[in-house]
Structure 1
Amino acid sequence: MTTQTPSTGAALSSGRPPVPEILAPAGSRDSFLAALAAGADAIYCGLKNYSARMAAENFTFEDLAALAGLAHCRGVRVYVTLNVMLKPDELDDTGRLIRRLARQVAPDGIIFQDLAVVALARQAGFDGELHLSTLANVSFPEALALVRSSLQVDRVVIPRELSIDEIRAMAAACPAGLRLEAFIHGALCYAVSGRCYWSSFLGGRSGLRGRCVQPCRRRYEQDGGKARAFSCQDLSLDVLVKVLKTVDQVAAWKIEGRKKGPHYVYYTTAAYRLLRDAGHDPQAKRDALSLLSRALGRPGTHYRFLPQRPQHPVAEGEAGASGLLVGRVRGGTGSAYLTPREALLAGDMVRIGYEDDPWHAVVRIGKAVPKGGRFHLKPVRGKRPPKDAPVFLIDRREPALAEMIRKLQSELPAVAVAAGPVFKAGLPKPHRFDAPVKRQRIGRELKAGNDGCWLDEICLEAAARRRRRLWWWLPPVIWPGETPRLTEQIQKAVAVGAAGFVLNAPWQRALFPDRLKVPVWAGPFCNLANPLALAAARRMGFDGVIVSPELGGDALLGLPKRSPLPLGVVLGGNWPLCVARTVPAAIAPEKPFQSPRGETAWGVVHGANFWLYPNWILDLKGHEKDLIKAGYRLLVRLEETMPAGVSLKERPGFWNWDLGLR
C-alpha cells in the first residue's frame, strides 16, 4: 500500500479544485485521515448534530477544526453536512452552529436539504459554498435554474437513480454558477432520497433527520416466500466513471460511506483516483478494481447508469450484506469457532450474521489468525452463535494504513475553540390568515366527494367531461423526460378550470408561469417544517404550504402563528412508507406482504414510481379542532385505492404526534 499523491498539484496549490474532485466520506477521525492518505480532493463530514448520518461517530468542533486545518494545508477542501429537516425550534441552534463553523472551522462548503439553511448561513456570516443535498430531490433539468436563482446555491447533489443520459440532460440545463455532484460508489437506499418515511412511520426515527433504522434491509414475506426484497447492493460505477468524466458540469465524484471505517474510505478513494487520473492504463484499471473488490462494502451494481443495460439493485439470491464473507460458524455443542478463508489481522472487525439478524454481533480480532486457522467465538449475549452463520470481515486495520493514519495524526495542529457565539435567527413576519377552513379529499380516481386528483390523463378527461374544478397534485418525484408530458397536463388542467395545484417538490414551481390565476401550494412531500423554510417557499411564488406530516404534535400546533404563508396539514388517509424508482423483484405489486414484526404493507406502480404503503392510515382526526384553532386553513385527506386482498388494520395512526419528530 502506498500513499496516493494529488494528480493536479498546480490546481491544488492555486486553490482551484480539480474537476471532477474525488469527494470522500468521513464519519470518524481515522476515516478523515485515511481519506487524506488516499489523496482525496475533498472530504465531507458531519458534526454531532443535524447530520443525516447520526449513527456515524461524527465530530466535535475541536476535532473538526484541527482536521480541517490539516486538510486545508494540503489543499484539500472540507464540506460539512447540515442535511436534515429542521424543526421550528431548531433555527437558533442551527444558526449558532453555522456561525461557529464559519469562525472556527472555515469549511469550504455546507451540504444541506432544508431551505432554512440558506437564510441561516447568510445571517451567520458564512461565505463558503452551499451545496443542495440529494435529500432535496432535485430530479429534473428544468428545476436547476430555479434552484440557482431562488437559493443561490453553488452545487446540487443529483439522485443516484439517474442514468448517464439523464445526467447529461441535467448538466445541459445547468445555469452559470451551478455545478453538479454525482454519487459514484456506496450504499443505495431502496427509496428515492428525501421520499422515504419508512423508518419514521414505523418507529419514529426519521431518515430525513439522519436516524433511519433501515427497515429496507430486513426480510419480508409474501405468499410464503421470504427475501430481503428491498436490500440494495452498493452502487459501484468503477470503470464506467470514464463516461462521467466527459460531463464537464459534474464537479465532484462522491463516495458514500460516512458510517464506514478507514479501510473502506482509503480503498475506495484510492481506486477512484486511479480511475480518474490513469483510467486509460489497463494496469491502473486492474489495480483500481482490485482495491474496490477488497473495500469491504456490499456487492456492487451499476444500477441505472447505463440506460441500455440497467441492473436491478437487489440481486436475486444476494443477501446484500456489507463486508467480505470470510467463513461460517463451525463447532459442535462445545465452543463455536471460525476457520477463516483468508488471514485475519489484529484489530480486524468481523460481524457474525447479517445486519438484520437480531442476534448478530460485531467482534474485534485480538490476535492475528492465519488463513485456515481457528478463531474461537465467544457467546453472543449469552448465546452460542448459530452453526453455519456467516461471518463477514467489515473493517480492517492493516499496518501500512495504520502507520499512515498515525503519521497524519501527529501533524494535526493544536486548536483551541471558543464557546459557541450568540445567535438569534431572524424570522419572517408572521401573517394572520382568517380565511375559512377548506378541506381536500385527494384520490387517484375522480369519485364523488373528491376535491382533487393526482395529475394524470384519466382524471383530466373525467374532469373535462364532468366540468369539475379540482385541485391537481403533482407527484413527489419527476424524472428527466417526464416534464413535457406534465407541462401539457398542467395546461390541460388550467383549461378545464383547475381550482389550484399542489406541488410535491419546491422545484416543480419551475413548470408553472410566474403569474397563474389559480393558487399554487407546496405539498407535504416538500418536507417544509419551519418558518424560514416557509419564507423560502413564499419567495419562490407559493401561495400556501401543506407542512411536513412528520412533525410532532407540539411542533405542528406551534407553526401557524410563526408562518408567513397560509398552512395546510394532512389530517388523514394513506401515507406512503416510501416512493422508489424500482419495482422489487421478490414482491408482487398490489398484494400484501409482511415484515418480520408482523406489519403488513403493499406496493403499487404509479407512473414511473413504485409507492409502498402500510395497511393502516395516518389519522389525526381526533386533533382536528386543535389544528384549526392553531391556524391551519386547509385539511387534506389522501386516499389510495386498496388492492384486493389488502384490508386496513385498526391501529392508531398518530405517526409522530405524541412521540415528536426525532
Structure 2
Amino acid sequence: MPDISAFKPEILAPAGNKESFLAAVDAGADAIYCGLKHFSARMEADNFALRDLSRLQGLAQKHGTRTYVALNTLIKPNELDQAGRLLDQLTRYVHPDALIVQDPAALKLARQAGFTGELHFSTLANIGLASALPSVLALGADRVVLPRELTVDEIKTLDTACPDALDLEVFVHGALCYAVSGRCYWSSYLGGKSGLRGRCVQPCRRIYTAGGPPQRLFSCQDLGLDILTKALLEAPRVKAWKIEGRKKGPHYVTYTVRAYALLRDNPLDPQAKKEAVDLLDQALSRPTTHYSFLPQRPHPPVTPDQSTASGGYLGRLQAKNTKIQLRPHKALLPQDLLRIGYEDEPGHRIYKVSKYIPKGGLLTIQGRNTEKQKGMSVFLIDRREPELVQRLKKMDQEFQAEPAPEITPSSFTPTLPGTRTQAGRPSLVRVYRNLPPGKTGKTPGLWVQPKPPRGISSTRYSHIWWWLPPVLWPEEERLWQETIDRLLARGAKRFVLNAPWQVGFFNDSEDLMLWAGPFCNLANALALESMVELGFSGAFASPELAGPDLLALPGQSPLPMGLVLGGAWPFCLSRVQPPHLEPGQRVTSPKKEISWTKRYGPTTWHYPNWDLDLYKHQRELEQAGYTLFAHLYEPRPKSAPRPHRTSTFNWDLQLL
C-alpha cells in the first residue's frame, strides 16, 4: 500500500464570480477553475471577462494558486473562429495554467493559438475506461476529469493503468446529476437549452408522477466524500480533488476548501476529521451522499422522500394578517441570501436579509406576490460572516492593485482540415436491441450486448453494424473486451462507437470500419479531424445540432458523415435506477410529458414517449452530403401509451 502521507493532491476550488475566486485564494486552494462569458458549461454562473480574469490570475499567482479556465462546451460548426479568437486572447492576456475542455476541437484550437499550458478533458467527455487513456494522451491531453459515478475500486484501477504523462482528477464534493455527464440531452430535447452547452434547465430536479404521489423522482443529493477521501491518497495519479460549485458563493467555497485541505493534510488525525466534517455541515450544500464510492456500501443519490434543496433549511413562511413572516431555525446575518421555495414553484425568489435576526426571531418578507409564498420552505444559500467579509475586503484590495490589461481584438484564424467528398449512395441502418424476424434491411444495426446474439449466421456478422453503448463502466471493461473480441473472431467488421475512447478496444483497426457514433457529440470540423487521428472511418453528427448546423457540417468534414434520422433518442443515461420506480414504468411530468426507463446492465436509459423524426429533411441532408442514416428502435413498455407526436429535436431551434 502506498504511503498516504506522500501524496498531496491539489484542492481544486470553483469560482463563478470574483468574490468566490477571492475566497478560494484566501482559503488556501491550490487551484481554481472558472469560466468565461462564452463556451462555459456553467453559463448561469456570472463568469468572467478577460480583463478581470487577467487581474485575478495575477493575484492568484502571487499566492501560489493555479488558475484553470473551463472552455468545456460543445462547439458548433460556425463557432470555430470565435472560439479560436477567444483562446488567442486568453493565451495572450490571462495565461491560465490549464484549460478544461469537452470538445476535442478545443485542444486543437488551443495549440494553434499558442497556448502552452495543460489541457484537461472535462468529465463531460465521459472518459472512464483504462483502455481509453492512451487515446486521450494521443490527442494531447494532460489530465482526465473522471466521472462522478465511479467507485473507489474503479478509480484505483484507472490509477494503476494511467500513463505517467497523464493525470487524473476526481470530484469529492458538490452537485450530482441524475444523468452521466456528457450523456444528457433532456433539457435540449425539451427545448434547445443544452447541458453540453452549459444551458441546462435541470428538468431532473422537477416533480414527476409514477403510480403514486408527485415526487422529485430524479433529483439527486450532493456528493460529499468527506472522510472517505483518505482512500484517494492511495491513488498517486489522482492529482486533484475537485469541488463542484461555480454557482456557489464565497461562504461555500471557503468552508469546502478548508475542510478538504484538512482531510488531505491530516488523514490520520481524528480531531482534524471532526473539524472538517463540521465545516462541511456548515457549507450550505444539499444533503450529501457518498453515492457509489464504496461499492460494498453504496448510497442512492436519489431520495424522493427527502428534500434535495440546496442550502440550510430555515423553516416555512407563515401568513399573519397581510404579512409573510419567518421564524428561522438559526440566526440570520445581514447580507444573508435566502431562497424561498424551489425553482419550479410559483413565487420562488431569492431574498437578501437586511438586518440581524436571532434564532426564532421574526423576519418579515417584503416585496410583491408574497401571497403566493405562504407555506413555502426557506433555505439559507449564502452568507457573509463578519470575518469572511473582512478577509474578502482585504483580498479585493490586492485585486484592485493588479494592473488591468488593454484587451485588443484577435485576428486569429483556425487552420481547418481538408474536406472529403461525400461519395456513395445514402443508406439507412435500422438499429435494434435484438434482430427481429423478417426484413431488417441489407445492413441492419444491433446494439452490442455482453451475451452472444442468437439466431445470426456467421456470414451475417460482417454485414451488421455493431453499436457499442454510450456509457461503459470500468467494472465491466474486461467483459466488453471479451465480447468485442468474440465478435471480431466471428467476422464482425462494422462498428459504431459511442464514445471516441472506445477505440481502445480495437488493437488493429486496419481491416475494420469504425464510425464515431452520435453520442460522441461531434459538431465541428476540428473535432472530426481528431476522429481521423484516432483511426475512425466515418462519423455521425450530434443530432442535438440545429438544422443549419447539420446541413453545414458534411461540407466541412474530413470524414464521411452519418446522422440519426429517427427513432428512440434517450433523454439521458444514468448509473442510477431511481427508487420507487420500476424499469418500464410510466413517468409523467407536470406538463403531462410521458417518459420511461430501461435498464441495460448497470446503466439506466431514460426515454421520452415520443420519437425523433427528421425524415422530412432526409433529401436536404442527402444533398448536404450525409451518406449514412440510422433509425434507433427501442421496445416500448406496455405502460407507455401510443405517442401522439414526434420531435425534430433542435432542427427548427437555435441551439443555445
- Give the secondary structure class of the aligned counterpart of 1:265: helix
Distance 1:56 1:304 in 2: 28
**1:3 alignment counterpart:** none
- Give the secondary structure class of the aligned counterpart of 1:159: coil
Residues 348, 373 of structure 2: 8 Å contact kept: no
- Give the secondary structure class of the aligned counterpart of 1:460: coil
Per-residue deviation, 1:110: 0.1
1:364 corresponds to 2:357: no
Residues 514, 536 of structure 2: 8 Å contact kept: yes
Per-residue deviation, 1:164: 0.6
**Aligned positions of 1:616-631 closer than 5 A:** 616-631=610-625
Q: Match for 2:371: what amino acid?
A: R
**1:93 alignment counterpart:** 82
**2:569 alignment counterpart:** 575
1:454 corresponds to 2:447: yes
1:388 corresponds to 2:388: no
Match of 1:258 among 246, 254, 259: 246
* Greater shift in the superposed pair: 648-657 or 25-34: 648-657
Distance 1:532 1:414 in 2: 36
Distance 1:322 1:623 in 2: 43
Residues 216, 304 of structure 2: 8 Å contact kept: no
* Greater shift in the superposed pair: 247-256 or 478-487: 478-487
- Give the secondary structure class of the aligned counterpart of 2:375: coil
- Give the secondary structure class of the aligned counterpart of 1:575: coil
Distance 2:448 2:646 in 1: 30
Residues 458, 491 of structure 2: 8 Å contact kept: no
1:178 corresponds to 2:172: no
Q: Match for 1:394: what amino acid?
A: I
Per-residue deviation, 1:465: 7.0
**Aligned positions of 1:161-176 closer than 5 A:** 161-176=149-164
**1:241 alignment counterpart:** 229
**Count of aligned pairs:** 645
Distance 1:366 1:164 in 2: 45
**1:311 alignment counterpart:** 299
* Greater shift in the superposed pair: 480-489 or 522-531: 480-489
Match of 2:395 among 400, 408, 414: 408
Per-residue deviation, 1:19: 3.0
- Give the secondary structure class of the aligned counterpart of 1:195: coil
- Give the secondary structure class of the aligned counterpart of 1:363: strand
Distance 1:231 1:399 in 2: 34
1:52 corresponds to 2:41: yes
Distance 2:304 2:585 in 1: 20
**2:426 alignment counterpart:** 437
Per-residue deviation, 1:368: 1.3
Residues 422, 561 of structure 2: 8 Å contact kept: no
Per-residue deviation, 1:385: 4.0
Per-residue deviation, 1:397: 0.8
- Give the secondary structure class of the aligned counterpart of 1:545: strand
Q: Where do 5+ consecutive residues of structure 1 fail to align?
A: 1-7, 12-17
Match of 1:398 among 371, 385, 389: 385
Residues 514, 541 of structure 1: 8 Å contact kept: no
Distance 1:195 1:648 in 2: 26
Per-residue deviation, 1:278: 2.1
**2:535 alignment counterpart:** 541
**1:287 alignment counterpart:** 275
- Give the secondary structure class of the aligned counterpart of 1:485: helix
Residues 321, 355 of structure 1: 8 Å contact kept: no
Per-residue deviation, 1:486: 1.5
Distance 1:299 1:277 in 2: 25
Residues 51, 407 of structure 2: 8 Å contact kept: no
**1:608 alignment counterpart:** 602
**Aligned positions of 1:192-231 closer than 5 A:** 192-231=180-219
Q: Match for 1:528: what amino acid?
A: L
**1:121 alignment counterpart:** 110
Residues 16, 47 of structure 2: 8 Å contact kept: yes
Q: TM-score, normalised by structure 2?
A: 0.96
> 1:501-530 CA distances to partner (integer Å, 9 max, x unpaired)?
000000000101233423110000000110
Distance 2:493 2:165 in 1: 37
Q: Match for 2:62: what amino acid?
A: C
**2:133 alignment counterpart:** 144
**2:94 alignment counterpart:** 105
Distance 2:132 2:474 in 1: 10
- Give the secondary structure class of the aligned counterpart of 1:205: coil
Per-residue deviation, 1:316: 4.5
**Identical pairs, percent:** 51
Distance 1:104 1:417 in 2: 9
Q: Match for 1:66: what amino acid?
A: R
1:596 corresponds to 2:586: no
Distance 2:364 2:532 in 1: 63
Per-residue deviation, 1:466: 8.1
- Give the secondary structure class of the aligned counterpart of 1:145: helix
Residues 97, 420 of structure 1: 8 Å contact kept: no
Per-residue deviation, 1:649: 2.0
Q: TM-score, normalised by structure 1?
A: 0.95
**Aligned positions of 1:18-29 closer than 5 A:** 19-29=8-18
Residues 219, 304 of structure 2: 8 Å contact kept: no
**1:4 alignment counterpart:** none
Q: Match for 1:477: what amino acid?
A: V
Distance 1:175 1:236 in 2: 28
* Greater shift in the superposed pair: 442-451 or 212-221: 442-451
1:267 corresponds to 2:255: yes
1:585 corresponds to 2:579: yes
CA distance 1:458–1:284, change in 2 (3 Å): closer
* Greater shift in the superposed pair: 20-29 or 113-122: 113-122
> 1:188-244 CA distances to partner (integer Å, 9 max, x unpaired)?
000000000000001210000000000000111011322111110000000111111
Residues 10, 30 of structure 2: 8 Å contact kept: yes
Per-residue deviation, 1:336: 1.2
> 1:262-300 CA distances to partner (integer Å, 9 max, x unpaired)?
110111011111111123222221111111001011001
Per-residue deviation, 1:459: 6.0
